[in-house]
Amino acid sequence: MSGHSYDSEKYWKANLRLIIGSLVVWGLASYGFAILLRPMLAGIHLGGTDLGFWFAQQGSILTFIALIFHYAWRMNKLDKKFDVHEE
């Protein structure tokens, strides 16, 4: 029984690391690049506009969608590793 508790603790620690990493990337893309770093990104052009504006309008949304798929993929791997996956 204590082995199961240890595995459960490792599983949730790995899950929290994944969540925190995802939140950091999302925050950097949506708040950092789109707002705080926008003046520095103004000279870089992407698709007819500057990179800061692109992140504010599209990049943060596309990053969020990519993070959803990445999180699902990594959680499936984590679930299989700890044998808690669904069939």
pLDDT confidence of residue 6: 61
Q: Assess if residue 70 is contained within a domain.
A: yes
Query: Residue 49: beta bridge partners?
Result: 46
pTM over 0.85: no
Q: Assess if residue 8 is contained within a domain.
A: no
Q: Assess if residue 26 is contained within a domain.
A: yes
pLDDT confidence of residue 33: 87
pLDDT confidence of residue 23: 95
Q: Assess if residue 3 is contained within a domain.
A: no
Q: Assess if residue 40 is contained within a domain.
A: yes
Range of the domain at 66: 14-81
Express each pLDDT in 26-72 by its tens digit: 999 888 888 898 888 888 887 788 888 888 888 889 999 999 999 99
15: nearest Cα among 82, 86, 87: 82
pLDDT confidence of residue 1: 42
- How many independent structural domains does the chain possess? 1
Dihedral pair phi/psi, residue 23, rounded to 5°: -65, -35
